[in-house]
């Protein structure tokens, strides 16, 4: 018999891992240049780093193949095997043979096997995406690629691959799962909380690279709506950093009129909030979070700690006290 037959989940996990690696490769190299913001430097660095971008292409192509294989496995993993069926050790008294010892379907034939086994016809967009990445990968692996790659092209390809094969929200969930499940996360010396809060810098980066419209297509939540500071991420940040939390990825859900909440795109945590104007008159925010301690009561628009009443009321009270003191000093009624 044929042993160690792969299953759908194994190939899907492999695909996600390849895409996360491809994303990290681009992001880790680009983020420093992105923060500096010098276009000429950015172009020089990526021209120098074409080898890294080529590696990312190979990873994206491997992910696409793994997604197709995952889909084929839902019908039967045996459809992935090449060669003559008479060579299969499936009859009595034949020695077992491991699945990985067989030749598997090459990329061009795999696309047709995949198309024949999916439940609905493939769209022209997904076929074009698969073929474009296959052609580019072949140029890199089997020849000398003349294609000049850039981070935007690769980030587009990574997000499109997630969207075509898994749907919305899956790109960010895969990145978050990879981070949360890392062994470092359970080590006492690793600042897991602050790193989770800082993880949102990837959202800022990708939106800036590909644009708000395409970015919004990746999520079921409307990321183009007004954004607020996430109470959970800010609290994690406060425990480690004595500074304002710089990322705003919490979205308000007003459907619960008795208890409005914000959903954070970054950490996926839902936090209850109250609709109250910010204490500070120069902030137009109207969403507050009430945590267990006074320093965890803050406006989700400006991030400033909140106090009882409003700043205008407190200022009026201070003026009234000052006027009463002045009258007493002057002996006035």
Q: Are 53 and 60 in contact (CB under 8 A)?
A: no
Host H or E run for residue 253? strand 250-253
In whole angstroms, how far apart are CA 262 and each of 10, 212, 298? 34, 20, 14
- Indicate if the alpha-carbon torsion angle 300, 303, 307, 313 is positive or negative: negative
Query: Which pLDDT tens digit goes with each residue over 300-325?
Result: 999 998 886 555 555 554 555 556 65
Question: Can you give the pLDDT at residue 90?
Answer: 83
Judged against a pLDDT cut of 60, whether residue 110 lies above it is answered with yes
In whole angstroms, how far apart are CA 151 and each of 140, 171, 209? 17, 16, 8
pTM: 0.85
Judged against a pLDDT cut of 90, whether residue 163 lies above it is answered with yes
Q: Which residues contact 91 (CB under 8 A, 6 or more apart)?
A: none
DSSP assignment letter at 257: S
In whole angstroms, how far apart are CA 192 and each of 233, 240, 246, 254, 319? 11, 10, 18, 31, 46
Which of 127, 277, 266 lies closest to 201 in space, CA to CA?
266
**Mean pLDDT on 75-93:** 87
């Amino acid at each position: 018999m044929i042993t160690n037959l792969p299953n759908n989940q194994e190939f899907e996990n492999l695909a996600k891992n390849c895409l996360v690696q491809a994303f990290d490769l681009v992001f880790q190299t680009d983020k420093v240049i992105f923060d500096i913001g010098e276009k000429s430097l950015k172009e020089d660095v990526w021209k120098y780093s074409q080898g890294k971008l080529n590696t990312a292409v190979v990873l994206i192509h491997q992910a696409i193949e793994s997604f197709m294989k995952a889909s084929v496995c839902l019908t039967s993993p045996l459809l992935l095997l090449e060669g003559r069926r008479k060579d299969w050790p499936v009859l009595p008294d034949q020695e077992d043979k491991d699945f990985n010892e067989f030749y598997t379907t090459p990329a061009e034939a795999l696309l047709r096997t995949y198309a024949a086994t999916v439940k609905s016809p493939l769209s022209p967009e997904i076929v074009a995406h698969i073929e474009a990445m296959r052609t580019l990968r072949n140029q890199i692996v089997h020849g000398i690629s003349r294609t000049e790659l850039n981070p935007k092209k690769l980030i587009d390809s990574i997000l499109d691959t997630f969207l075509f094969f898994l749907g919305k929200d899956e790109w960010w969930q895969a990145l978050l799962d990879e981070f949360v499940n890392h062994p470092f996360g359970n080590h006492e010396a690793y600042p897991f909380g602050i790193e989770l809060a800082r993880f949102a810098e990837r959202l800022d980066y990708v939106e800036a690279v590909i644009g708000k419209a395409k970015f919004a297509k990746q999520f079921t939540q409307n990321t183009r709506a007004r954004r607020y500071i996430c109470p959970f991420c800010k609290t994690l940040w406060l425990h480690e950093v004595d500074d304002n939390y710089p990322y705003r990825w919490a979205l308000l859900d007003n459907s619960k009129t008795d208890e409005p909440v914000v959903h954070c795109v970054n950490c996926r945590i839902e936090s209850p909030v109250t609709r109250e104007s910010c204490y500070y008159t120069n902030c137009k925010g109207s969403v507050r979070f009430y945590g267990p301690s006074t320093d965890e009561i803050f406006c989700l628009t400006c991030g400033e700690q909140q106090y009882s009443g409003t700043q205008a009321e407190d200022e009026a009270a201070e003026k009234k006290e000052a006027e009463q003191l002045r009258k007493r000093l002057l002996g006035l009624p």
